[in-house]
């Protein structure tokens, strides 16, 4: 049944809600490793789901990839190496944190642009009212 | 100037949404282009479905182009694709490798016995471990690998006769032109 | 017969909305009182027919009328009555009907409470709301008929999606829509002001309570949604930065900016155009949210089944409403450059402007991040995902200045602040924050996020409480805190409470996936979780495997928790987490799968969480919501005589009375 369901998911037929969660006990060596794993899988996207991380998804592929991440951690790979391993195979789409490159320039620099634009808009909508030392009077706050 | 600025900004946004509606009615949002195109296919050694003792590996396939078709008996869309592979797929002139993905071998055999076997060879990946190296995320998926072992084309989802004629066959023809 | 009556009611409502949208505006333009007088009866008539349609649909659910496709798709004979009522807004068509009903509630409320407004202005406001209703009614009538018949009538219906069968979800959409739609009132005021042109800033004063109330509802709706995601989705998270959540968060952020901008415009006369622009943005983003959720343009965990035709309709509607408003703004707003009062660098105006800048930019950032995957497709820059790490990094950065300024807000004077007094507040708040941070440093073993959380909360809390104390001493009894001020203090305190919840629950929380056989224990923090096995239970429309997990602290039994794994009528599996809530934190248990063929019989996988202070997140949100409502109730803002007085005399401390 799960397989069938997953196949349907893989075939893009499903729209709607995800309801079952991914409870997946793994033999972590330490609490630190467990936290690192939880943190890392939260930043990786499940390919076949609507919009869920590997940590949250119950899809079978997500489970396979979680186990792959776990195995890579066991052989001492760093977070960056694990992310590289996944993007090599599944493209940047698996990263919820897109890397800074030409294609994502607008994404990462956009907020600064927005800040400047908003500031300009604020000033322009009320020219001449901007802080003027000479006339401002102190008034009751309420 | 600042007062008219929101208008073109909003126009751009509307254009983007218009694009989104169009794009989504032609493309599947889950279809992610593979980064493995024009990269060497991952090395694989996988047991054959008919002789689990024997395996097929990448090096033994070098020297000629072939198509790897990921399928499974549990996959509904594979059933839709199957008749197309039985007819048009067999006329491609290259070996067809069936990649049985996360499937029970006896169910896979029964499925092929029932629907016919279009494949020259069928390999099995029960755990799905090697499939991760191929960037497989569902079934069916198909990879066209050239004589040098490089992935040249990938199709996600079921093939139709039309897709084979418009995409796969020209890609194979291009491979033939390259190799003298 | 009944369903056809429902559909007929919607068509009649559409016609009345068209009358309400056109006639009063023409009347206001031509100066004809008789045309303007059409607004109220038309609005009332529309509301009656919309309510009739809504009740007919509800009646269909209550009487199991499966000849209505929508009822058959979203309910069945076993579904309890309360979820059958909630099922009315459980899917696209019905939730749209709820949206329209709520728009009518706001319109009727406005029609009743707008009698002291100048008739032409009231006519324009009601007219604009009528035009908005035309769009939505046309949408429902032409693309999303909730009364479509299903023939032959099936013997039983399908089911309401199990994740929606939860009290939080019953509450979430109506409250959220109250907020979304509530911004239409501020929007209508702004458009009416632009249309009228002749008005001074008086309209802002009339718009303020409506905006505050709408924002309060929106806050409540988001809190309910977040709570529902936490309790029902079973991941223990409270915010995922999913497009659907972002869709509600953007108008909220603009709403915060708008509430504060309205204060400047009303009290000081400056930044009128900016306030109008924000009103347009807040409502546009509400519409955009509807579009995003229903058009299927973005991939989201929880979206409505999408249909490109609907997408096109909303896009055109959005284009007309937002494009038209922005055009009107471009043409008319240059006339609104007013003679606002000057202010110095250190002043309440400046602080509010900084907050406005940050909130508006944050809303822009969320929009950019939400739409970037689509943009990347359009420009062929490759498929990308933008998720929690992106927003979680940028949002706190943008909010940092806001948190730093927050304790000074109430202390700052309009025009020019008292630097000495501000320095004293800063000193005390800093001493409080730093000393609490030091204590935390020892307690939590260098968890920077948690330390920052406590420091920020104390920083905000000290500034706010100092102001409250000062008022208590300096102002005669009975007028310590006007409602407007009390609302502000509540909301600002809520920010502090919220920060504690957010910044403590994440770094100090513990999540573990474990495999447990009956009798086995796991220790998390100071608690021991003992698994006592699983047994079957039955609900009205589900069967569940229910686990028993006993929580021990030392050797004392704290509680026994019962997580469930339910199977609903159509075979959908739904996990019901068990939550033991408390001030200091929640314990949370979710049941996974039975372990197949294990060495010990009856072993299951379980997820165990300890989430310190997580409840403070929603309490913070509820404080903010309450703040919005209390501020909206201020008598100064609605008292007709005060309104009349203020139009003629500039606002100087009149509110102390």
Q: Would strands C510-516 and B121-125 be described as parallel, antiparallel, or unpaired? A: unpaired
Average pLDDT in the C166-181 region?
88
CATH of A21-99, picked from 1.10.8.640, 1.10.760.10, 3.20.20.70, 3.90.1150.30, is 1.10.8.640
**Position with higher pLDDT, B1 vs C437:** C437
In this complex, which of B6, B24, B32 lies closest to C326 when CB atoms are compared?
Answer: B6
Asked if the model's pLDDT at residue A122 lies above 70, the reply is yes
Tokens of A77: 């790979």
Cα–Cα distance, B162 to C241 (Å, whole number):
40
Calculate how close chain B gets to C281, using CA atoms only, in Å: 10
**Helices and strands in chain B: count of H runs, count of E runs:** 7, 7
Question: Residue B19 and residue C378: Cβ atoms within 8 Å?
Answer: yes
Res C127: pLDDT: 95
Residue with more model confidence, C593 or A34: A34
d(CA C226, CA C228): 5
**Sorting pLDDT into bands at 50, 70 and 90, what band is A6?**
very low
Task: State the Rg of chain B over Cα.
Answer: 20
* DSSP assigned state of C68: B
Joined together, the tokens standing for residue C295 give 């058009």
- Looking at every residue in chain C, the average pLDDT score rounds to 88
Query: B-contacting residues of C 308-367, CB under 8 Å?
Result: 308, 311-312, 315, 318-319, 322-323, 326-327, 329-330, 333-334
Which band of pLDDT confidence, cut at 50, 70 and 90, is reported for residue C339? Answer: low
Q: Of A23, A136, A140, which has the smallest distance from its Cβ to C342's Cβ?
A: A136
Q: What is the mean pLDDT of residues C2-29?
A: 94
Q: Nearest by CB to B32, which of C318, C326, C383?
A: C383
Q: Which of residues 64-83 of A touch C (CB under 8 A)?
A: none
* Distance between CA atoms of residues C421 and C470, nearest Å: 11
Q: Nearest CA to C303 among C454, C92, C481, C104?
A: C92
Peptide bond into B157 cis (omega under 30): no
CB atoms C415 and A137 under 8 Å: yes
Between A61 and C298, where is the model more confident?
A61
> Helices C324-332 & C167-196, crossing angle to 10 degrees?
40
Inter-chain touch B35–A91, beta carbons under 8 Å: yes
For residue B126 the two structure tokens come to: 């029960």
Q: Are strands C578-580 and C585-594 parallel, antiparallel or unpaired?
A: antiparallel
pLDDT at residue A131 in the model: 52
- Considering only alpha carbons, which residue of chain A is nearest residue B129? A64
pLDDT digits (tens, 9 = 90+) for C262-272: 998 888 888 88
* Per-residue model confidence (pLDDT) at position C645: 39
Q: Quick one: pLDDT band at residue C611, thresholds 50, 70, 90? A: very high
The string of pLDDT tens digits covering residues C103-160 is: 999 999 999 988 888 888 999 999 999 999 999 999 999 988 999 998 888 888 888 8
What would the mean pLDDT of C580-590 be, rounded to a whole number? 91
* Residues in A touching B29 (Cβ below 8 Å): 12
Question: How many C-alpha atoms does A93 have within 13 Å on its Cβ side?
Answer: 26
The whole-angstrom separation of Cα C494 and Cα C514 is 36
Q: Are C212 and C628 in contact (CB under 8 A)?
A: yes
- Name the token pair of C389: 């790490």
Nearest to A47 by CA among B138, B49, C374: B138
| Binding partners of B (≥3 Cβ pairs within 8 A) | A, C
Beta bridge partners of A53: A45
> Is B132 in contact with A89 (Cβ distance < 8 A)?
yes
Q: Is A130 on the interface with B (CB under 8 A)?
A: no
Q: Give the H/E segment covering residue C497.
A: helix C483-508
Q: Does A95 touch chain C (CB under 8 A)?
A: yes
- Report the candidate in B66, B51, B23 with the shortest Cα–Cα distance to residue B124: B51
Predicted confidence band at A10 (pLDDT cuts at 50, 70, 90)?
A: very low
A49-98 residue pLDDT tens: 878 889 888 888 899 999 999 999 999 999 999 999 999 999 999 999 99
Give the H or E element holding residue C30.
helix C2-30
Measured between beta carbons, the chain A residues lying within 8 angstroms of C589 are none
Chosen from A41, A98, A117, A130 to mutate, greatest number of chain C CBs within 10 A: A98
pLDDT of res. A134: 54
Interface membership of A34 toward B (CB under 8 Å)? no
**All domains of chain C in start order, with CATH:** 1-160 (1.20.120), 411-508 (no CATH), 510-616 (no CATH)
Residue A128 has pLDDT above 80, yes or no: no
* Residues pairing with C608 in the sheet: C512, C589
In the sheet with B141-145, reading across from the earlier edge strand, the strands are: B121-125, B96-101, B66-71, B141-145, B151-156
CB proximity B151 to A under 8 Å: no
> Chain C 506-545, CB below 8 Å of chain A: which residues?
511-515
Work out the average pLDDT over B122-136: 93
- The pLDDT tens digits for B137-176 are 888 999 999 999 999 999 998 999 999 999 999 999 998 8
What's the CA angle centered on B102, arms B99 and B107, to 5 degrees?
A: 85
Q: What sign does the dihedral A128-A132-A137-A139 (CA atoms) show?
A: positive
B25: which chain A residues are within 8 Å (Cβ-Cβ)?
A: none
Residue B81: how many other CB atoms lie within 10 Å: 23
Residue C478, classified by CB atoms within 10 Å of its CB into exposed (0-12), middle (13-18) or buried (19+), is: exposed
Q: What is the pLDDT of residue C460?
A: 95
> What's the whole-number mean pLDDT along residues C194-217?
84
What percent of chain C lies above the pLDDT cut of 90?
Answer: 57
pLDDT at C559 over 90: yes
The answer to whether C308 contacts B16, with C-beta atoms less than 8 Å apart, is: no
Check: CB of residue C563 under 8 Å from CB of residue C577.
yes
The lowest-confidence range among B5-14, C244-253, C475-484 is C475-484
* Nearest-angstrom CA–CA distance, C150 and C69: 5
Asked if omega into B140 is within 30° of 0 (cis), the reply is yes
C-alpha C24/C-alpha C30 separation (Å) is 10
User: Does the structure show a pLDDT above 60 at C51?
Assistant: yes
Amino acid A7: pLDDT: 36
B134 to chain A: closest CA residue:
A89
Mean pLDDT of the C60-72 span: 93
SS3 at position B38? coil
Judged on CB neighbours under 10 Å (0-12, 13-18, 19+), C540 is exposed
Across C268-355, where does the E strand assignment appear?
Answer: none
**Alpha-carbon span C377 to B33, nearest angstrom:** 11
Q: Are C605 and C592 in contact (CB under 8 A)?
A: yes
pLDDT band at B66 (very low <50, low <70, confident <90, very high): very high
> Closest residue of C to A58, CA-based?
C592
**Contact predicate C71/C58, CB 8 Å:** no
Q: Within a 10 A sphere around the Cβ of B167, how many other Cβ atoms?
A: 14
For C357, the token pair is: 């800048």
The HSE-up count of residue C398 (CA atoms within 13 Å, CB side) is 27
| Residue-level pLDDT at C595 | 79
- Give the closest residue to C550 by CA, choosing from C581, C526, C525, C519: C519
The reported pLDDT for the residue numbered C341 is: 80
The residues near A70 (Cβ < 8 Å, ≥ 6 apart) are A26, A37
Name which of B14, B21, B29 is nearest C311 (Cβ-Cβ).
Answer: B21
Lowest mean pLDDT among A1-10, B82-91, C213-222, C485-494: A1-10
B-C CB pairs within 8 A amount to: 63
Say if residue C303's pLDDT is above 70.
no
Contact A10 B34 (CB under 8 A): no
pLDDT digits (tens, 9 = 90+) for C361-402: 999 999 999 999 999 988 888 889 999 999 999 999 999 999
Looking at per-residue pLDDT, the higher value among B21 and A7 belongs to: B21
| A8 chain-B contacts, CB cut-off 8 A | 76
CA distance C383 to chain B (A): 7
A 1-60 residues inside an 8 A Cβ radius of C: 15-21, 23-26, 34, 38, 42-43, 45, 49-53, 55-56
C224 pLDDT more than 80: yes
Instruction: Count CB atoms within 10 A of the CB of residue A34.
Output: 17
Residue B94 has pLDDT above 80, yes or no: yes
| Interface contact B32, partner C, CB < 8 A | yes
- Calculate the average pLDDT of chain B: 89
Query: C52 or B93: which carries more pLDDT confidence?
Result: C52
What is the percentage of chain C residues whose pLDDT exceeds 70?
Answer: 93
Instruction: Please give the domain boundaries of chain B with CATH numbers for all domains.
Output: 36-178 (3.40.30.10)
Sorted by where each begins, the domain ranges of chain A are 21-99
Residue C534 to residue C56: CA distance in whole angstroms: 43
Check the CA dihedral C278-C284-C289-C290 and report its sign. Answer: positive
Q: Which two tokens stand for residue A93?
A: 């789409």
pLDDT tens digits for range C366-376: 999 999 999 99
């Amino acid at each position: 049944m799960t397989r069938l369901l997953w196949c349907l998911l893989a075939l893009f037929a499903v729209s709607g809600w995800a309801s079952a969660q991914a409870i997946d006990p793994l033999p972590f060596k330490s609490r630190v490793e467990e936290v690192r794993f939880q943190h890392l899988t939260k930043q990786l996207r499940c390919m076949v789901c609507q919009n869920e991380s590997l940590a949250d998804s119950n899809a079978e592929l997500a489970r396979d990839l979680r186990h792959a991440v776990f195995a890579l951690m066991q052989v001492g790979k760093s977070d960056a190496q694990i992310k590289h391993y996944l993007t090599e195979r599944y493209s940047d789409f698996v990263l919820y944190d897109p890397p800074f490159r030409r294609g994502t320039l607008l994404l990462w620099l956009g907020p600064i642009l927005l800040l400047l634009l908003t500031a300009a808009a604020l000033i322009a909508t009320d020219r001449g009212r901007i802080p003027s030392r000479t006339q401002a009077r102190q008034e009751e706050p309420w | 100037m600042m007062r008219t600025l929101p208008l073109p900004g909003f126009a751009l946004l509307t254009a983007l949404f218009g694009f989104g509606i169009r794009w989504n009615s032609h493309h599947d949002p889950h279809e992610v282009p593979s980064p493995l195109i024009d990269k060497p296919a991952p090395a694989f050694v996988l047991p054959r479905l008919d002789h689990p003792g024997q395996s097929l590996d990448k090096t033994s396939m070098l020297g000629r182009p072939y198509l790897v078709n990921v399928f499974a008996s549990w996959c509904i869309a594979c059933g839709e694709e199957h008749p197309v592979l039985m007819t048009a797929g067999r006329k491609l002139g290259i070996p067809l490798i069936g990649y049985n993905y996360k499937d029970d071998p006896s169910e896979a055999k029964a499925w092929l016995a029932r629907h016919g076997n279009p494949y020259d060879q069928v390999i099995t990946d029960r755990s799905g471990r090697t499939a991760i190296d191929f960037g497989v995320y569902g079934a069916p998926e198909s990879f066209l690998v050239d004589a040098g072992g490089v992935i040249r084309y990938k199709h996600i989802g079921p093939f139709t006769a039309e897709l084979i004629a418009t995409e796969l066959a020209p890609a194979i023809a291009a491979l033939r032109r390259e190799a003298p | 017969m009944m369903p056809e009556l429902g559909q007929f009611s919607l068509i009649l409502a559409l016609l009345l909305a068209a009358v309400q949208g056109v006639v009063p505006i023409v009347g206001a333009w031509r100066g004809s009182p008789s045309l303007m007088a059409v607004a109220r009866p038309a609005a009332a008539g529309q509301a009656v027919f919309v309510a009739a349609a809504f009740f007919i649909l509800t009646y269909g659910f209550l009487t199991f009328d499966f000849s209505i496709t929508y009822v058959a798709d979203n309910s069945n004979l076993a579904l309890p009555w309360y979820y059958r009522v909630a099922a009315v807004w459980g899917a696209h068509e019905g939730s749209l009907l709820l949206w329209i009903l709520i728009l009518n509630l706001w319109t009727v409320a406005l029609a009743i409470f707008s009698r002291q407004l100048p008739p032409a202005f009231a006519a324009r406001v009601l007219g604009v709301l009528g035009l908005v209703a035309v769009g939505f009614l046309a949408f429902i009538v032409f693309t999303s008929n909730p009364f479509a018949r299903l023939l032959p009538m099936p013997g039983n219906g399908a089911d309401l999606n199990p994740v929606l069968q939860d009290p939080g979800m019953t509450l979430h959409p109506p409250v959220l829509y109250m907020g979304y739609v509530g911004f239409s009132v501020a929007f209508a005021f702004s458009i009416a002001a632009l249309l009228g042109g002749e008005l001074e800033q008086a309209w802002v004063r009339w718009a303020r309570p409506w905006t505050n109330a709408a924002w309060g509802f929106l806050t409540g709706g988001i809190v309910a949604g977040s709570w529902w995601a936490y309790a029902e989705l079973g991941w223990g998270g409270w915010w995922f930065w999913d497009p659907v959540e972002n869709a509600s968060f953007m108008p909220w952020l603009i709403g915060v900016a708008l509430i504060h901008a309205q204060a400047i415009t009303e009290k000081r006369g400056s930044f009128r155009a900016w306030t109008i622009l924000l009103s347009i943005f807040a409502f546009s983003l509400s519409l955009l949210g509807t579009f995003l959720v229903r058009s299927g343009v973005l991939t989201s965990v929880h979206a409505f089944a999408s249909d490109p035709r609907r997408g096109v309709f909303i896009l055109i509607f959005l284009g007309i409403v937002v494009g038209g408003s922005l055009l009107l703004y471009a043409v008319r707003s240059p006339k609104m450059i007013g003679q606002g009062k000057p202010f110095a660098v250190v002043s309440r105006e400046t602080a509010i402007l900084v907050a406005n800048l940050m909130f508006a930019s944050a809303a822009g950032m969320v929009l950019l991040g939400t739409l970037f995957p689509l943009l990347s497709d359009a420009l062929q820059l490759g498929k990308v995902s933008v998720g929690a790490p992106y927003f979680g990094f940028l949002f706190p950065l943008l909010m940092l200045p806001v948190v730093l300024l927050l304790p000074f807000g109430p202390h700052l004077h309009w025009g020019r602040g008292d630097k000495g007094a501000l320095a004293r507040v800063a000193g005390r708040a800093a001493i409080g924050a730093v000393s609490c941070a030091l204590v935390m440093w020892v307690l939590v073993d260098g968890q920077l996020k948690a330390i920052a959380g406590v420091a920020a909360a104390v920083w905000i809390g000290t500034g706010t409480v100092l102001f409250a104390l000062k008022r208590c001493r300096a102002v005669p009894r009975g007028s310590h805190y006007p409602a407007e001020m009390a609302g502000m203090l509540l909301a600002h305190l809520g920010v502090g409470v919220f920060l504690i919840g957010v910044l403590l629950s994440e770094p100090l929380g513990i999540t573990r996936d474990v495999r447990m056989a009956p009798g086995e224990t796991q220790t998390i923090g100071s608690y021991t979780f003992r698994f006592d096995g699983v047994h079957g239970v039955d609900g009205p429309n589900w069967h569940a495997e229910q686990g028993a997990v006993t929580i021990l602290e030392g050797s004392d039994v704290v509680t026994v928790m019962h997580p469930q794994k339910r199977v609903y009528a159509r075979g959908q599996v739904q996990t019901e987490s068990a939550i033991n809530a408390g001030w200091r934190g929640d314990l949370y248990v979710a049941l996974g799968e039975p372990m197949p063929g294990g060495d010990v019989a009856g072993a299951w996988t379980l997820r165990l969480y300890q989430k310190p202070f997580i409840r403070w997140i929603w309490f913070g949100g509820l404080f903010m919501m309450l703040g919005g409502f209390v501020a909206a109730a201020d008598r100064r803002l609605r008292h007709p005589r005060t309104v009349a007085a203020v139009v003629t005399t500039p606002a100087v401390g009149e509110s102390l009375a």
